[in-house]
Structure 1
Amino acid sequence: MWQRDGRSWCVQGDIRLGNGLDRHLFELLRAIDRTGSINAAAKQVGLSYKSAWTLIERANNKSAKTLVVSETGGQKGGGTMLTGSGQILLKLFESLEQKHAQLLVELNRAVESDTEALRLLKPLTIRTTAANQMFGVVWLIRHGIVGSEAVVKLKGGEYVCANLSRQEAHALELAVGAEVAVLINNTEITLATGPEKLRLSARNQLWGSVGRIELDQVEAEIIVNLKGNEETLSAVMTRASAERMRLKPGLQCRAIFKANAVLLATLAC
């Protein structure tokens, strides 16, 4: 998994041996080995007593040999402990964990020295609630007294116009050639069918075709494949509207939205 950590990019990942033998189980086994109590071990790793037992029972059932046993009574009052097989498996995991950490260090060094890889990774770190997220390059920017207009060229060659304040444009450090994310809520998009471009106040009319339709009792979500099939847009309307427009996969349409419905985002360095 790729993540951004502070000012650097990092490769992260977990070790999984199969059949549910993952980091969560081995953290529990390690805690059981330290405490001799499944109750205390569960608290250490943030699990409930029941969840811890479920994890142990599942691991015991899937393993060739029992990994954990419990004893009641006796001179020490009983407890929970790892079997010899459990100890062997825990040591194996800890050895793999060390080698895995060393591998991640080497991978991160390689990534940090590869500027092209870093450029490709930038879009993967943006998180947003907007249903539509596309990427492009600022093609043109105009500044007025109060507002600014940015035209972004998408991967597929379409252009999107966005209105924003001069203060926002300055904060984003927008300039021609800058890579940006284009964010649009699916409720802001209207669909129109027919080959002709409509005369509307909305600045953006992107040509495409219906790719997929998701229906519930009230609403319809329409996935539009934009020209060139490089990007898709999601639009939401009532089910009645979708049926009235006779929308179906493959039907040519235009995705229409205003310039002030577009949000732009840049990656802070």
Structure 2
Amino acid sequence: MEYIIEEINNLGWLSTLSGIVGLGVMLLALIKKPRIWICNKVRRVRTTIKYHSIYEFIQENGLDKKSFLNPKDLRILILDDEPQNYPIDYLKESKYDIESITKISLSKMDTISKYHIIILDITGIVEEDLKQGGFELLKRLRTSKPVGQAIIAASSKRFDISVADFYKLADLKIKTPIEPIEIEDILIEAAKLKFNTIDLAQQLDSILYKIPRSDIRKNITSNIILFLDKEISFETLKKKISSYDYEKKEELLNIVESLNHQVNHEKNN
């Protein structure tokens, strides 16, 4: 028994050494964690300093290759006093988010600003001017929402020189009545034209530019870039944006999600 006790005592140095090694490992871990935190912090600061806009981030990272949203993910409005000229039932059955109205007052123009794609006739749709009110409505839509909305000019006439300016101001034009496959093609074309990574980035910058306080504007821009660069989660971004008293939070976050979807699509292709 005395021999065993003596041997255990002789091994005491191993226990001490083991304790020292364990303490060293703990110290290294404690040193490593703040170092990683500091490195992450520096990288994030560099990222936010490097880019001054969402568009600049998209462009500098080669993410401006015209990837576009599926038109089925966009809100579509047909504004025409002859809805029978469109395959509305077919589009709804095909899972398009589409609505149709026949008339609108210019005083209620804000109610259609939420739509991403608007198919617009020039005559018979604006209560204040049934003859050519569609042109005035189009001009106002272009002023109030210069980005983030595609407008397709519709007409049942082959060519009418009196509405040439109406066609010119619109993004695309169609002749009605229109067949299902033809309208699907035009909706895809509208999505390619107005809902690609470039347009979404410019749309975000346009909204951010209207924030009066520069410190809030810069902070939100920086956090959006960090999210797109996978430095922070979407939940973190939501919390940061929600901390500000800003009326367009929901619209901003929706566009950020759409852009992030396209950014990931670009990176994977």
TM-score interval (norm. to shorter): under 0.3
Q: Report the TM-score, using the length of structure 2 for normalisation.
A: 0.22
More helix by share: 2
More strand by share: 1
Which of these two proteins has the greater Rg computed from alpha carbons? 2
Q: Report the TM-score, using the length of structure 1 for normalisation.
A: 0.22
